[in-house]
Amino acid sequence: MEALLPRFRAAHTQVLGVSVDSIYSHANWGRSLEGISFPLLADFHPKGGVASACGLYLADNGITDRATLIIDKDGVVRYAVSVTPGGKRDIAELASECEKVDREFGKGLAAFPEAGGMPAGSTLYVKSKCGFSRAALLARDNLHLAGKLPVKNVTDDPAAREALVKAAGKEQAPCLVHGTTAIHETPEIIRFMVTSATDLAG
Amino acid sequence: MIAVGTRAPDFTLPDHLGRKVSLGSFTGKRNVMLLFYPLDWTPT
């Protein structure tokens, strides 16, 4: 058991021994084993109380079955096997079982909500060699809106310039156009992007 | 024996050094492997 403890630790598993012995018996036994690096729990008073709750108390003999339970982080029993009191556990196999349970952690978690998008048909118009355009583009990247907010450069693209004039009435860029609204001030453009991107209601 | 898929009953027991150990204290943090064994001085 001691030799394989690192594997259990790596699988985020706390190992606990349980028997009906008192803490004094545990302490003596632990000393005779030259120290034991996982807790031995005394299911002593009421005798076998926890074992009974798990259906592992052998009342006729006043002892606990030799059995292993693996309980996941949510408190759910994932493995329950008895090898009978006289049997022997396969610790390596138990380590594999713990690793299996550990790998599944996270599968039950809800998927991340998709980040908010931009109103359909939004376009960010920018121009080259412009600090304000650059600030708007950086905000777009940082808010993970790259795939959701198309960009048109009015310096390189005459058709974009024409579209901007048509939508906003003037050539000034940066400009965020959505629906019939055109936003020209860079802080307002960024504020609008932040509001849209952080709306997780959908 | 308790069935796979059911919730383990919470408990608090003293360990061999007299510290109190609760199953619930590991919830959300670590998996727990309980090694039930008949008596001390037998192999775990």
Total structural domains in chain B? 1
Class of domain A2-103: alpha beta
Residue B6 in domain: no
Residue B10 in domain: no
φ, ψ of residue A161 to 5 degrees: the values are -60, -45
Chain A positions touching B38 (Cβ under 8 A) are 19, 58, 61, 63-66, 85
Residue B33 in domain: yes
Boundaries of every domain in chain A: 2-103, 123-197
pLDDT in tens, chain A (202 residues): 888 999 999 999 999 999 999 999 998 988 888 888 899 999 998 999 999 999 999 999 999 999 999 999 999 999 999 999 999 999 999 999 999 999 987 776 667 666 677 888 899 999 999 999 999 999 999 988 888 899 999 999 999 999 999 999 999 999 999 988 999 999 999 999 998 887 765 4
Among the partner-chain residues B14, B15, B38, the one whose CB lies closest to the CB of A64 is B38
- Residue A165: its pLDDT value, please? 95
Among the partner-chain residues A13, A55, A70, the one whose CB lies closest to the CB of B1 is A55
Q: Which of B35, B39, B41 to mutate to test the interface with A (most CBs of A within 10 A)?
A: B35
Q: Give ipTM to 2 decimals.
A: 0.94
Residue B3 in domain: no
Chain B positions touching A21 (Cβ under 8 A) are 39-40
Chain A positions touching B37 (Cβ under 8 A) are 17-19, 64, 66
Question: CA–CA separation, A150 vs A143, rounded Å?
Answer: 14
Instruction: Confirm or reject CATH 3.30.420.60 for domain A123-197, answering yes or no.
Output: no
* pLDDT tens-digit series, residues B29-41: 999 999 999 998 8
Global confidence as pTM: 0.63
What is the nearest CA distance from B23 to chain A, expressed in angstroms?
A: 8
**Average pLDDT taken over every residue of chain B:** 92
